[in-house]
Amino acid sequence: MGQTITEKILANHCGKKEVHPGEFIEANVDVVLGNDITTPPAIKEFEKIGIKKVFDTGKIMLVPDHFTPNKDIKSAEQVKLMREFAKKYKITHFFEVGCMGVEHALLPEQGIVYAGQLIIGADSHTCTYGALGAFSTGVGSTDMAAAMATGKVWLKVPEQMKFVFNGTLNKWVSGKDLILFLIGKIGVDGARYKTIEITGSTISKLSMESRLAMANMAIEAGAKNGIFIPDEKTKEFINNAWKKHKENKGKAFYFDSDPDANYISITEFDSSMIEPQVALPHLPENTKPISKVGKIKIDQSVIGSCTNGRIEDLRVAAKVLRGRKRHKDVRLIIIPATQEIWQQANDEGLFDVFMKAGAVISTPTCGPCLGGHMGILAEGEKAIATTNRNFVGRMGHPKSEVYLSNPAVAAASAVAGYIVSPEDL
């Protein structure tokens, strides 16, 4: 029996020739990640172990991004704990404000995560790195603590699901729409405990930004990991990113799935039938094609996050906003996900477009995506957002609402004052 890319990476990290779904393994990790919310409890657990050093000072990534730049005293104390922990244990990769970014946009861009690795992160969207052909999954703070001490994680080998997207994309449709469409089809627990492997003719033409956005939301279908088979685009992306961390150069392993690998399901979608998607409150599975959404007035539009705060996303938003102005009743908040993306957007003149459109441009932060800061909703308010979750109270008041979309729709809606396709502006 052949093996999938996921099974091959897992086997490769526990010294086995092959692994099978349902099997428990203790695997070696290449990268352990934590943020300003999840690292402080991990530090507390790590210190209970009573060990004097971390397993590898270069393989732990500490990214304060959720409430940073620190929104209040308590948040500042949390980041201080992280900073002091990094110093005490000589952890190389602590990303201070000024070089930080939203973690899942930052690590791929910096060449720190790449194909063939086994990555765990105390953040559910750690599944993002599957876009690079890595096995990558979210865990909790105690798992992070144990991995910082031992370099290992316990895992149950997941069952494998394959999704094939074939056909040409319609105008304004991106990876975000494909993954929202998929979640709408299988539900928020449709892939619970399982792998989502994504392939097909549409995918080979898809940009890395779009693939990252898709892998990012595998968790919204309950998946353990989302994964893409690396191709020339993946290699080009990784080689380019390695310019920033040359010590990693050449360390990637490009695995493939065997033709006779075992999947519990294989589902094909015709991409040419997919319109821009909107996920209505309060679950990401409540998706509708934009033409069926109706006229929903909004108070805020957020373009950013680990899902859609990359340069391609900002370019698309600028394309829609060029020569237009936000509706007077809509706050338009644009958050480039990393310092580098911020710089790039500035160099390309995108900020000029955004400012003329009446937007505000934030420093990198997760901020409003999780109702942290930088754009919290009041009771009864509605937002369209390029983020990944629309749970009750996700962006603020428990009686506010979040609608998820791609950046083009979020930009167009900011102009119209209600949810709309850029085609209908």
Residues at the interface with other proteins (CB under 8 A): 24, 37-38, 40-41, 44-45, 48-51, 66-67, 71-72, 74-75, 78, 121-124, 126, 138-143, 145-146, 149-150, 154, 156, 188-189, 192-193, 222, 224, 283, 370-372, 389, 391-394, 398
Is the CB of 4 or the CB of 388 nearer to other proteins? 388
SS3 27: strand
SS3 146: helix
Q: Which sign, positive or negative, has the C-alpha torsion 414, 418, 421, 425?
A: negative
Q: Find out whether 210 and 312 touch, Cβ atoms under 8 Å.
A: yes
Closest contact distance (angstroms) between CB of 402 and other proteins is 11
Question: Given strand 160-166, what is the order of strands in its sheet?
Answer: 225-228, 195-199, 160-166, 265-270
SS3 33: strand
Is the CB of 97 or the CB of 370 nearer to other proteins? 370
Is the CB of 141 or the CB of 421 nearer to other proteins? 141
Closest contact distance (angstroms) between CB of 286 and other proteins is 11
* Cα-to-chain-centroid distance, residue 189: 18
| Pairing mode of beta strands 135-138, 93-94 | unpaired
Structure tokens at 201: 């003719």
Is the CB of 139 or the CB of 321 nearer to other proteins? 139
Closest contact distance (angstroms) between CB of 93 and other proteins is 19
Closest contact distance (angstroms) between CB of 159 and other proteins is 12
Is the CB of 72 or the CB of 347 nearer to other proteins? 72
Please name the residues in contact with 37: beta carbons below 8 A apart, sequence gap of 6 or more.
Answer: 66, 67, 78
Specify which residues 25 forms β-bridges with.
Answer: 155
Is the CB of 282 or the CB of 319 nearer to other proteins? 282
Specify which residues 287 forms β-bridges with.
Answer: 279
Closest contact distance (angstroms) between CB of 98 and other proteins is 21
Q: Which amino acid is at 419?
A: I
| Pairing mode of beta strands 287-289, 277-279 | antiparallel
Closest contact distance (angstroms) between CB of 74 and other proteins is 4
Closest contact distance (angstroms) between CB of 28 and other proteins is 14
| Pairing mode of beta strands 135-138, 118-122 | parallel
Q: What values do phi and psi take at 109, rounded to 5?
A: -60, -35
Is the CB of 111 or the CB of 184 nearer to other proteins? 184
- Phi-psi domain of 396 (left: phi exceeds 0; alpha: psi -120 through 50; beta: other): left
Closest contact distance (angstroms) between CB of 149 and other proteins is 6
| Pairing mode of beta strands 300-303, 265-270 | unpaired
